[in-house]
Structure 1
Amino acid sequence: MSHVVVVGSFNVDHVWNCATLPRPGETLSGRYHTGPGGKGFNQAIAAARAGAQTGLLCALGGDEGGRQARALAQADGIDLRVHDSAQPTGTAGIYVDEAGQNTIVIGAGANADLSVAWLGRQAAALAGARVLLSQLESPLDSVLEAMRLARAAGTITMLNPAPANAQCLRELLAAADILTPNETEFAALLERHTSHRIDRDEIAGAPDAQLHRLCRTLLPRGTVVITLGAAGAFVSHREDLLRGDDAPFYRVAAEKVEPVDTTGAGDAFNGALAAAYAAAPAQPFAAHVRFANRYAGLSTERVGAALAMPRLTPGG
């Protein structure tokens, strides 16, 4: 059985590196490359390379992209379970500037065919995992079904509510034991599901006690980890469920790195956090967050998404 099971997307990434990000109506010259990506696949590769026995449940087309996903998953020892789709394998167009910042457009393709019925038939794989990790690039009712099946079996459910423009259902939040938004996603979730508001640019500098109150409003029964890029991460636990920590809320500093491409950094963090937590759930949660921060930082020193994930084990 897999220690971490990821339910999510696979995309073929088409990437252009350019001096600045293109503005409306602007044509730029850049350097092009292509490679595997998609939040689900990125996070599965990260979890596997961070030391977890990993499974991935996804939908693929019968094309070159689908064949690439199968070959790469096999190479990294991932237990790949595929819903075969008549649609082309998912794609993403990515622009990366000289500072490593990016913009992304996704074509869902086969990812949109990941169905509730098919996931229901994967109940044994979900029940056998220690951690289920999901995102929002797949149909939301299917993600919810996976989380409900996993939680019913005692598996820890971890939801990365990305991308930020996805309509994260309230039921998804209720089914999450651990929620991992970035600043943009956290601000969007607060606006959508609570009466509270905070500007994304104010989150990193907000007082810890204020962030903790907002996290408890958004996810009263679970743990929230807000990823803050260069500012590290903020963790908020339920007062009676500290996951081995000494305090209900705290910050973890980011690692010092020289970033060349931030594409997939959030996925690196999530995959590494799931792997570390699954490997040693009794250890303080803060140690797992520190490992995930280090892992994500190292991923930004390489170009690409899935293939930029470093091979690094907790404590290594």
Structure 2
Amino acid sequence: MSDVAVVGSFNVDHVWRCDALPHAGETRTGRYSTGPGGKGFNQAVASARAGASTSFVCALGDDLGGQLARALAEADGIALVDQRSEHPTGTAGIYVDAHGRNSIVIGAGANGDLRASFVESQWAVIAQARVVLAQCESPGDAVLVALRIGLDVGATTVLNPAPANADVDVELLVMADILTPNETEFAALLGKHCGVEIDPDSLAATDSATLHAHCRNLLPQGSVVITLGAEGAFVSHAAGQLRGDDLALYRVPAYPATPIDTTGAGDAFSGALAASLSQLEQPFAEHVRFAARYAARSTETAGAAASMPRLAPLGA
């Protein structure tokens, strides 16, 4: 039995570190490395390393990338179940500058083949979890099935609506008990579903009452946690659904860090939040603070899945 079931993507990351991110038409010199990534796998690793037993449902190619995913999942104690694809395992090209900022290009590969019917066939794997966590690097109908299973069995469903250019429809939003967008993803959702155009860079400075109104307009039910990078996180709860908190809206400050690579920081947050929710009975604010600390620590190590900190079991 797993505490957290993650349904999502696995990528082999190809990373170039350079002094500054390249502009269009520019060639820069950098240092190359490769390692595991993909939002789904990053979040599964974060959940497992944060102390929760974790399962991971995904699609992989019949190639070295797929072999890598299975071996790494086994090493972290993650119960991986994969749909075998005729396409190559997903890949990502990542550029990281001297300040830890990144630009990423994804090649979906096998991730784009994850079928709703396969996710449905893993009902027993997903239904046993206390928390079901999904993102949007996999087909929407497959993600929808995963969240629906979670709701049907009374699990807490967490949707990380990433990346920002993903097609996140209303059907997915209504399946989420908790939504965890970053500034760019939140702004994209507001524009698509609420007709509100907002500059992502202005969100951290927006007054809390306005942010709360935007959150409730986007997700009338459930809770929204907007991750704001160095400005921490903003939490908005629906009326009567405070999850043990005293306040319906509040901010959680970022934790001090010396970042060298922010790749996967949002995934670290969502994975750690899911792990904490699955393990501890406490006010929601404490779960968010734990996730914020975990995400801050992840930025101090290079890589995506490889950067997720290893912690003692939660509650130990």
TM-score, normalised to structure 2, is 0.98
Contact conserved, 1:263 with 1:305, CA < 8 A, in 2?
yes
* Aligned twin of 1:4: 4
Q: Report the residue type matching 2:290 in the other structure.
A: F
* Aligned twin of 2:219: 219
Instruction: Report the Cα distance in structure 1 between the residues aligned to 2:201 and 2:113, rounded to whole angstroms.
Output: 35
Q: Report the residue type matching 2:288 in the other structure.
A: V
- SS of 1:94 mapped into structure 2: strand
Instruction: Report the Cα distance in structure 1 between the residues aligned to 2:187 and 2:263, rounded to whole angstroms.
Output: 21
Q: Report the residue type matching 2:291 in the other structure.
A: A
Instruction: Map Cα deviations across residues 125-180 of structure 1 (whole Å, 9 max, x no partner).
Output: 11111001100000011101111121111111100000000110110001100000
Contact conserved, 1:264 with 1:306, CA < 8 A, in 2?
yes
Instruction: Map Cα deviations across residues 33-85 of structure 1 (whole Å, 9 max, x no partner).
Output: 00000000000000000000000000011111100000000000001011011
Instruction: Report the Cα distance in structure 1 between the residues aligned to 2:213 and 2:287, rounded to whole angstroms.
Output: 23
Instruction: Report the Cα distance in structure 1 between the residues aligned to 2:252 and 2:110, rounded to whole angstroms.
Output: 37
Contact conserved, 1:61 with 1:86, CA < 8 A, in 2?
yes
Q: Report the residue type matching 1:39 in the other structure.
A: K
Instruction: Report the Cα distance in structure 2 between the residues aligned to 1:148 and 1:172, rounded to whole angstroms.
Output: 9
Gaps of 5+ in 1: none
1:299 aligns with 2:301: no
- SS of 1:60 mapped into structure 2: strand
Contact conserved, 1:126 with 1:155, CA < 8 A, in 2?
no
For residues 202-281 of structure 1, the aligned pairs below 5 Å read 202-280=202-280
Instruction: Report the Cα distance in structure 1 between the residues aligned to 2:315 and 2:232, rounded to whole angstroms.
Output: 19
Contact conserved, 2:7 with 2:58, CA < 8 A, in 1?
yes
Contact conserved, 1:46 with 1:268, CA < 8 A, in 2?
yes
Contact conserved, 1:102 with 1:262, CA < 8 A, in 2?
yes
Instruction: Report the Cα distance in structure 1 between the residues aligned to 2:249 and 2:136, rounded to whole angstroms.
Output: 26
* Aligned twin of 2:124: 124
Q: Report the residue type matching 1:198 in the other structure.
A: I
For residues 77-156 of structure 1, the aligned pairs below 5 Å read 77-156=77-156
Contact conserved, 1:61 with 1:89, CA < 8 A, in 2?
yes
Instruction: Map Cα deviations across residues 173-206 of structure 1 (whole Å, 9 max, x no partner).
Output: 0110000000000011001001333211111011
Moved over 6 A (4+): none
Instruction: Map Cα deviations across residues 92-124 of structure 1 (whole Å, 9 max, x no partner).
Output: 000000000000000011111110111111111
Instruction: Report the Cα distance in structure 2 between the residues aligned to 1:221 and 1:288, rounded to whole angstroms.
Output: 19
Q: Report the residue type matching 1:305 in the other structure.
A: A
TM-score, normalised to structure 1, is 0.98
Percent identity over the alignment is 63
- SS of 1:289 mapped into structure 2: helix
Instruction: Report the Cα distance in structure 2 between the residues aligned to 1:185 and 1:69, rounded to whole angstroms.
Output: 27
- SS of 1:283 mapped into structure 2: coil
Deviation at 1:240, TM superposition (A): 0.1
* Aligned twin of 1:310: 309
Q: What root-mean-square deviation, in Å, do the aligned CA atoms of Structure 1 and Structure 2 show?
A: 0.9
Contact conserved, 1:131 with 1:157, CA < 8 A, in 2?
yes
- SS of 2:287 mapped into structure 1: helix
- SS of 1:163 mapped into structure 2: coil
Deviation at 1:315, TM superposition (A): 6.4
Instruction: Map Cα deviations across residues 248-288 of structure 1 (whole Å, 9 max, x no partner).
Output: 010000000100000000000000000001101x3100001
Contact conserved, 2:279 with 2:315, CA < 8 A, in 1?
no
Instruction: Map Cα deviations across residues 220-251 of structure 1 (whole Å, 9 max, x no partner).
Output: 11100000000000000012010010100100
Instruction: Report the Cα distance in structure 1 between the residues aligned to 2:295 and 2:149, rounded to whole angstroms.
Output: 29
Instruction: Report the Cα distance in structure 2 between the residues aligned to 1:77 and 1:5, rounded to whole angstroms.
Output: 13
Gaps of 5+ in 2: none
Instruction: Report the Cα distance in structure 1 between the residues aligned to 2:4 and 2:162, rounded to whole angstroms.
Output: 19
Instruction: Report the Cα distance in structure 2 between the residues aligned to 1:315 and 1:157, rounded to whole angstroms.
Output: 22
